[in-house]
Structure 1
Amino acid sequence: MRKAQRTKRTKRLMWRWRSNPLRRHDDIVEAWIVLAVWTVMALGGTLVGALAAHATDESLASLRAERHTVRAVLLESTTRAVPAGAGVSTDGRVGAEVRWRASDGTPQTGRAQVDAGQKAGARVLVWTDTDGKLTKEPPTATGAAFEAVVVGAGAAFAFGGVTFAAGRALRWRLDRRHYDQWGREWALVGPQWRRRTT
């Protein structure tokens, strides 16, 4: 019973490929369009997703390599009450003025995100780039891997969506051609039917 149902379902899905006196040339074209779209979506989407994930992972790895921590001194206290939404991040860090020494030994000052609840003069760690300028902490290896997966999946779905839309546009054009052809054929046959039924 199940085998018969599977065979029937396969025949129904593959009707455009089977020889049939009612099959038109456009039916074969449509079958090839459907096959091409699904193949491009599967293979191309996988390739685009993998390339996007790899590029994102490499970019974030280079950020981790370029950025490093340096010791700095707080120039202002972060213990005062800060109103909600006034520069306090969700992880309890606040922006504060700090001083540090660049790799060439020159003193530098700037604003960096530090833990709240510290007094002026406290030693903190801040992130700097290769030029010695303050920057954000780079994503961890785990965070970068997650971000690469999300970007790769997004790129694959976007590619698949564009491919699917292109396939639908081609099939819409074929349908328009069918409707026009049916209209022309009905214009020829319709009057004969009306004569027979009246």
Structure 2
Amino acid sequence: MKRPRSTRVRGWRWRRNPLRRRSDVVDAWLLLAAWTVALVSGLVVGLLTADAVGHMTPRPAPSRPAATALVDPESAQSPSPRGAGDAPQPRHPATGQSPGGRAVAALMAAAATGGLVWAGTRAVRSRIDERRMEQWAAAWERFDAHRGPRTG
């Protein structure tokens, strides 16, 4: 036996429909606003992160004429006070922060913004759903009252 194919109607919340309620329209606008805020804030944070990392990465030095270096045999024998892995991190001249710190802060801001948008949208949608269920219960009560008393 073949299953009936379900038809999905896109944009039903925006069309005129006798079954559409005000809560459906509010829900649709809320979702549109949440997606817009999420996309725009993601774009802004991404651009800020790219700009911060771009300012922090070391720039190649301008071309200089070749120089000759001589090694002093006595200084080559003495141990270096700093190991090869102890190279200093490049710092931004104005802020003194390393490039990773500015990028991590921007990513954390993006996560916080996304979390706030999600939590706010979820809270408002749950209240809309509660209101919708109250409206359905009231509609069923009116329908039952119109039909008459129940039997058994």
For the 8 Å contact 2:31–2:121, the answer to whether it is kept is yes
In structure 1, the partner of 2:121 is: 167
Match of 2:79 in 1: 122
CA distance in 1, matches of 2:115, 2:10: 22
Instruction: Give the distance between the partners of 1:18 and 1:150, measured in 2 at CA.
Output: 44
List structure 1 segments (4+ residues) > 6 angstroms apart after TM superposition.
none
Specify the SS of the correspondent of 2:132: helix
2:89 matched residue in structure 1: 138
Partner residue in 2 for 1:183:
137
Deviation at 1:197, TM superposition (A): 5.2
Quote the offset at 1:137 in angstroms: 1.6
- Between Structure 1 and Structure 2, which shows a larger proportion of strand residues? 1
Structure 1 residue 49, shift from structure 2 partner: 3.1
TM-score normalised by structure 1 residue count: 0.47
**Alignment length (residue pairs):** 121
Q: 1:169 corresponds to which letter in structure 2?
A: A
CA RMSD of aligned residues (A): 3.8
Q: CA deviation at 1:36?
A: 0.7
Letter in 2 for 1:41: A
- Counterpart of 2:88 in structure 1: which amino acid? E
Per the alignment, residue 91 of structure 1 pairs with none
Structure 2 unaligned regions, length at least 5: 1-6, 59-76, 92-97
Indicate which of 18, 34, 44 corresponds to 1:21. 18
Q: Take 2:37 and 2:110, find their aligned partners in 1: how far apart are those partners?
A: 11
Structure 1 residues 152 and 158: alpha-carbon distance in aligned structure 2, compared to 1, 3 A threshold: same
Alpha-carbon offset, residue 46 of structure 1: 1.3
Q: Give 1:180's aligned amino acid.
A: E
TM-score normalized with structure 2 length: 0.58
Matching residue's letter, 1:30: D
SS in 2 for 1:13: coil
**Separation in 2, partners of 1:35, 1:125:** 56
Q: What is the letter of the counterpart of residue 51 of structure 2?
A: H
